[in-house]
Structure 1
Amino acid sequence: MANDFNAELHARPSIKFLGPAIVEHVALMPAKFVGQHSTQAVVGASVAGDRHVSSQIEYHTEFITITVVTQLDTQPAEWPESQLSVADFQKLAATPDAELICRTSILVAGTAPREIAPVLSKLGFGDTAVSSVGQGSAHVCSDFRLHGDGSTRVVLFNQDLNASRLGRMVRRIYEIETYRAMALLGLPEARRLAPLLGDYDAKLVELSNRNLATPRSEHKRLLDDITALSAEVISATAETRNRFGATAAYAAIVDERIAELREERVEGFQRFGVFVDRRFKPAVRTCAATAVRLDQLSRATMHLIDLLQTRIQVEIEYQNSLQIKAMAERTATQIRIQRAVEGFSIIAISYYLLSLMKVVIESMKYAGYSVSPLVMLISIPVVVGAVALTILRVRHALTSGK
């Protein structure tokens, strides 16, 4: 594993060369690609019959880049036509199904002339951004327009950069273009989501208003509608999270590479980095704002669901409290009825026992035995008291048993 970490430090070597030369760099995104970090360099390779200093293939997390340096015999007065097609680059990377993300052509020329504008005009440039880079060691120029072969053209006038510094400077320039293009892959997603986000906002407002006015009988339907909106927002977030995250990461790399150029202003021209920032940052901010809106909508819908569920729960608890209160009232009534029944039971049992005693006494009279009437009078309170005491003891035993 330590070897892997150390290899990562050397995974992006710069090509070393001196001008005049034309550097062609493309970024390809295969339909199916398992990202890896590695570099394959081929020195002295020949593609489409041209003589090259080197070709380099790099495998990134989600795309492949190919850099081809063609040495020129003399500095051209016009832009040299490329002999490489997209198919040639796809063949080099062994990815015939790969989609072209960006293509950058960098013409490395000699010392910048005192008047740069006429030279840039001959090379086919329009409104051009120019910067002195590397503390005055070179001048970088581009109009950032797409040309017939789908490439963005850049001229690098080399003042006194050696082969190593020139290679690193060229790498910074084409990496700005590559990561700028990769970052902008999130912009179509942001534009696609813009009308959907407006619809989601309107639905959220409508559902929030319904949450305030919906009766209890409509709560299930309202909960279903809010859940459906939440599912749509979460699905859109899941579909675009990686893309918008990559946009932010690539934009940070673009900023780093521009800072590494150590630009200085050239009189009469807009700076290279300023041109990129003013046309690139709004798109990045659009993607970031879309990601934030999705996150806020997701949170808002979940909060609305929580509010509705809380409202339903409170109403259920209120209904439960009413049922418990009704049950308590019924229990109290049953207890009162039970106590009344117990009173009647004492009277009934006592009456039954006294009736039995009366029958016994009368039977004894017929048998010739004389029984005083006082016995019957005394037995009445005794029997009633005994029955009442017995019933109370039974009820106490049942209560204690619970």
Structure 2
Amino acid sequence: MGHALPMPIADHDLRYRLANELHARPFPILSAPCRAVFLAVKQPSDAASRDRDADLAHLTNLLDRYGAAHPQPGATHYSGEIGKHAIKWESHTEFVTYTVFLSGYAQRPFDPADFDVFPKDWLDKAPGVRMTSAMIHVEPRPEDDQIAAKVDDWFVPESLAVSEVLDGEVVIAGDFRIDTAGHSRFSAFVRNDTGERRIGRVVQRLCEIETYKTMSMLGFARVRDLGPRMSGIDAELSELMVQMTSGDDPSEMTLGGLLRVSAELEALSAQSSFRFGATGAYEAIVGQRIEVLREKRFRGRQTFAEFMMRRYDPAMRTVKASERRLEAMADRAIRAGDLLRTRVEVERSAQNQKLLESMDKRADMQLRLQETVEGLSVVAISYYAVSLAGYLLYPLAEVIGLSKGMLLAIVTLPVVVMVWLAIRRIRARME
């Protein structure tokens, strides 16, 4: 027998881990009759960055009560046995889910006692709150008349959805309401020749539809909380736009208001972006999970898809409309701010132009004043220079036979010219 040759290229560190992830969450294998109890737990806030070790520790605590094997450290999914039942645990971005599968019939359909598989004191210590819980009843498919009678007895007719799925192999039903025990209810009636894996897929799909429907409705709740504030900001933004148009208030004051509104809109967008994104993703999963069931109408009843279209889709459209509205308001505030900043810059440019013109006028006045002072300086310096020259030349006046007045008159003009030339030279050197 030949030996395996070594691979000529090294594997990426995550190659096997990523490949195995695609096969890490198999569907349960179930046979009718059976039941399933489902629980989804979420931290009230900031669930995406929660301590996942606490989730794993809570699961381990439950397994210890049944003497079951522990999951691997850091695991995000687990399947195993707890006593006579099977459990499936999954850790998601915002929540964790527990599904316990029980064989056979309960004493009565949707018996609240089935939920006792989760001990009360264990539930009290959960690292979060219940987001949703459900009970699923699976039994062999009886006659259609019997199915109609049972679902009318178990569910609220006004919101009941019933359909044949997977080419008529299964009939599913549910009313998406919370019963007196605090759980949602779903039933599945399966043909005798339906495979165990197919039954498991149907039950898994029902759990996923309920979970992601509930999680996506968090976005609707967020929109309802944001609605009044968004309306208030919209009114403030419209008022600021009127102020921009009328020009009654100073542009700087209006700009300050716009910047404040823009900052608040950015804060709201940042706080809501994750929830809006998660809502869109959850909505897509709900639609996909219903689509793969390949529904057909059962005796004229509304299907799951029709229920979602009437009750669920309007809420999702409201979320999308609010998301678009918030983005449009932010863009509108940014555009208004840009326009107002341009207006402020134009006004400041005009003010700067007037200031420059005023400075030119002052410089011209200073130049004229300087020339005036320069002329006065020539006169003053010449006066003192002539006086000094007079004292110097007085002894010569008698020698040459001139009076002192005549001598000063003769000296004055040359002295003035010399002083003027000296000042001009000094100013020229300074310039």
Q: TM-score, normalised by structure 2?
A: 0.77
Matched, 1:291 2:323: yes
Q: Which residue of 1 aligns with 2:41?
A: 28
Q: Which residue of 2 aligns with 1:264?
A: 296
SS in structure 2 of the partner of residue 327 of structure 1? helix
**Greater CA drift, 292-301 or 163-172:** 292-301
For residues 170-217 of structure 1, the C-alpha deviation after alignment (integer angstroms, 9 at most, x for no partner) is 21221011100111122222222223322222222233323444656x
For residues 65-114 of structure 1, the C-alpha deviation after alignment (integer angstroms, 9 at most, x for no partner) is 1111111169x9x6241323479267667843532211222222223524
CA contact 1:234–1:298 (8 Å) conserved in 2:
yes
**Greater CA drift, 270-279 or 345-354:** 345-354
Within the candidate set 9, 27, 31, 1:14 is matched to: 27
Q: Which residue of 2 aligns with 1:65?
A: 97
For residues 134-187 of structure 1, the C-alpha deviation after alignment (integer angstroms, 9 at most, x for no partner) is 233322222333222222222222234322222222212210111001111222
SS in structure 1 of the partner of residue 29 of structure 2? coil
**Greater CA drift, 339-348 or 10-19:** 339-348
SS in structure 2 of the partner of residue 161 of structure 1? coil
Matched to 1:103, the amino acid is S
Within the candidate set 148, 159, 163, 1:117 is matched to: 148
Q: How do residues 1-400 of structure 1 correspond to structure 2 at under 5 angstroms?
A: 2=14, 3-31=16-44, 33-35=50-52, 38-43=76-81, 45-46=82-83, 51-52=84-85, 54-72=86-104, 79-85=109-115, 88=118, 95-96=125-126, 98-111=128-141, 113-115=143-145, 116-124=147-155, 126-127=157-158, 128-159=160-191, 160-213=193-246, 215=248, 222=254, 225-350=257-382, 352-366=384-398, 368-369=399-400, 382-399=414-431
Two-structure CA RMSD over aligned residues (Å):
3.5
CA contact 1:346–1:388 (8 Å) conserved in 2:
yes
Matched to 1:396, the amino acid is A
- Once residues 220 and 86 of structure 1 are traced to their aligned partners in structure 2, the CA distance between those partners, rounded to angstroms, is 66
Q: Per the alignment, do residues 96 and 380 of structure 1 end up closer, same or farther by CA in structure 2, a change over 3 Å counting?
A: closer
- Once residues 353 and 361 of structure 1 are traced to their aligned partners in structure 2, the CA distance between those partners, rounded to angstroms, is 12
For residues 289-344 of structure 1, the C-alpha deviation after alignment (integer angstroms, 9 at most, x for no partner) is 22232333334344444444444444344333323222211110111122233334
Give the drift of 1:346. 3.7
Count of aligned residue pairs for this structure pair: 389
CA contact 1:226–1:304 (8 Å) conserved in 2:
yes
Give the drift of 1:281. 1.1
Unaligned runs of 5+ in 2: 1-12, 53-73
- Once residues 92 and 40 of structure 1 are traced to their aligned partners in structure 2, the CA distance between those partners, rounded to angstroms, is 18
CA contact 1:37–1:61 (8 Å) conserved in 2:
no
Q: Per the alignment, do residues 279 and 348 of structure 1 end up closer, same or farther by CA in structure 2, a change over 3 Å counting?
A: same
CA contact 2:155–2:175 (8 Å) conserved in 1:
no
- Once residues 361 and 27 of structure 2 are traced to their aligned partners in structure 1, the CA distance between those partners, rounded to angstroms, is 88
Q: TM-score, normalised by structure 1?
A: 0.82
For residues 8-56 of structure 1, the C-alpha deviation after alignment (integer angstroms, 9 at most, x for no partner) is 323422211211111221211235733587112222x23xxxx42x111
CA contact 2:397–2:407 (8 Å) conserved in 1:
no
Q: Per the alignment, do residues 73 and 291 of structure 1 end up closer, same or farther by CA in structure 2, a change over 3 Å counting?
A: closer
Unaligned runs of 5+ in 1: none
SS in structure 1 of the partner of residue 157 of structure 2? coil
CA contact 1:131–1:265 (8 Å) conserved in 2:
yes
For residues 107-132 of structure 1, the C-alpha deviation after alignment (integer angstroms, 9 at most, x for no partner) is 22223524342343354563532222
For residues 339-392 of structure 1, the C-alpha deviation after alignment (integer angstroms, 9 at most, x for no partner) is 2333344444445545554554442133x3568999988866654444333322
**Greater CA drift, 305-314 or 332-341:** 305-314
CA contact 1:30–1:95 (8 Å) conserved in 2:
no
- Once residues 109 and 73 of structure 1 are traced to their aligned partners in structure 2, the CA distance between those partners, rounded to angstroms, is 8
